[in-house]
Amino acid sequence: MKGKSGKLGGDESEDRIDVDKPLWNQDTYLGRWMHYAFITDCRTILVPEDKLWEAKKLCEDYKAGKEPEGLQRKDIIYAKKLKDSAFHPDNGELMHVIGRMSFQLPGSVALTAAMLTFYKSAFGVIACQLVNQGLNAFVNYTNRNAMSDEPQDTDVIRQAFVLATAASCAAALGFRKLFSTRGTLFARFAPFCAVAAGNMVNLPIMRQREIERGIPIFVKNGDEVCIMKSQVAAVKGISECIFTRIIMAAPGMLMIPIITQRMRSYCFYQVRPWVTFPVEIGLCTLCLLVMIPSALAIFPQRNSMTPEMLKICPEEYEIFREKMGQRKHPDKVYYNKGL
């Protein structure tokens, strides 16, 4: 229960936590890694929807100082974990389970294994890329900066979904044809190139509204008052997300083909060729387990840039100067890049 000192009952030695902020310092890479490992735990996708809403309500009650008597610190931390993994940070809406970052591990393992297995068949490539880029489009939309949303966006989202998926599949087939004459090993790199190209196409298309309208920027980190919307910040944030997604996929999709190719020269493979598939699944799972938080932690979710970058779009910089008036210009302005 809550004592006079404002601390949790059952653990008076530790201060109350802020349920609206990460538990770790986001100014360091290690702190961000810990935070993303915390919220991308794939076990949270198995939690029923009613439990997720209960967790969110518990966090709201705790924030208001109305938590149940005898609440333990570990209980509110777990409730925060469920809330942060399942609810959108901008609008508080429950995200579809497939679009959550916590679904990335099981979803990506299945898709990566399929792409590495069926890379020889044109039909297999198309089928895998349709599913992969459809999933990517859904994840990109789910983890957008929702502050740029407007009610009439539904048709635009559907059109973007179709265009992003079609463009990504075309890229996949193009890379398959390019690498098909360069040997088996190079052919197995085609799925990674397709994924990289797909992300370059998919993310900007699915988040085109942020580029068109700009995303809110703030003078201080954690400030709730938006000073203006910036297209420059939107392009920078989306570019960071593209880089993150490519880095996330790179180790598994580049190293696994090399490892399995080397296995073919050993006698145990000649006798047991079926061993390739479980090895690929195991390596893929291990790589993604490490790379999902490692890649997401490269940039802070609430990232910054110098105001001088707004000069890329002179109109934006003039608006910024007008908004700041006679006040001293800050060294940095902040924006939510999404995931």
The DSSP secondary structure of 116-171, one letter per residue, reads HHSTT-HHHHHHHHHHHHHHHHHHHHHTS-GGG--GGGHHHHHHHHHHHHHHHHHH
Which of 62, 87, 112 terminates a domain? The answer is 87
Q: Is residue 330 part of a domain?
A: no
Q: Please list the pLDDT of the chain residue by residue as tens digits (339 residues).
A: 343 334 444 444 357 888 888 999 988 999 999 999 999 999 999 999 999 999 999 999 998 888 888 888 999 999 999 999 999 887 788 998 988 989 988 888 888 777 767 766 767 777 777 787 778 778 877 877 666 656 555 666 677 677 767 776 777 677 767 766 666 666 667 777 777 877 787 788 778 888 888 888 988 876 777 888 999 999 999 999 999 988 988 888 788 778 877 777 776 676 777 777 788 888 888 888 999 999 999 999 889 999 899 889 889 999 988 888 878 888 899 998 887
Which of 40, 64, 87 terminates a domain? The answer is 87
Partnered with residue 216 across adjacent β-strands are 229
pLDDT at residue 71 in the model? 87
Q: 116, 256 in Cβ contact below 8 A?
A: yes
| Residue 189 shares a structural domain with residue 79 | no
| Residue 76 shares a structural domain with residue 133 | no
Residue 143 makes CB contacts below 8 A (sequence gap 6+) with 95, 99, 101, 338, 339
| Residue 38 shares a structural domain with residue 181 | no
Q: Is residue 1 part of a domain?
A: no
Length in residues, the chain = 339
Q: Is residue 105 part of a domain?
A: yes
Q: Is residue 167 part of a domain?
A: yes
| Residue 110 shares a structural domain with residue 158 | yes
d(CA 146, CA 132): 23
72 Ramachandran zone, left/alpha/beta (phi>0; psi -120 to 50): beta
d(CA 113, CA 169): 17
Q: What is the pTM of this model?
A: 0.80
pLDDT at residue 146 in the model? 66
Q: Is residue 311 part of a domain?
A: no
| Residue 83 shares a structural domain with residue 110 | no
Dump the DSSP string for 19-51: TTS-SS-TTSHHHHHHHHHHHT-GGGGGS-HHH
Give kind and range of the element (H or E) at residue 321. Answer: helix 314-324
| Residue 48 shares a structural domain with residue 136 | no
d(CA 115, CA 109): 10
* Strand pairing report for 228-230 and 333-336: unpaired
| Residue 79 shares a structural domain with residue 115 | no
In terms of Cα–Cα distance, which of 279, 286, 281, 245 is closest to 264? 279
| Residue 51 shares a structural domain with residue 83 | yes
Q: Is residue 316 part of a domain?
A: no
Domain of 151, in residue numbers: 101-217+224-298
In terms of Cα–Cα distance, which of 232, 248, 240 is closest to 203? 240
| Residue 77 shares a structural domain with residue 122 | no
Q: Which two tokens stand for residue 295?
A: 């890649």
pLDDT at residue 6 in the model? 41
Q: Is residue 14 part of a domain?
A: no
| Residue 74 shares a structural domain with residue 191 | no
Q: Which two tokens stand for residue 139?
A: 């994840």
- Give the count of domains, the chain: 2
Q: Is residue 137 part of a domain?
A: yes
Q: Is 273 exposed, middle or buried (0-12, 13-18, 19+ CB in 10 A)?
A: exposed
| Residue 73 shares a structural domain with residue 197 | no
| Residue 183 shares a structural domain with residue 121 | yes
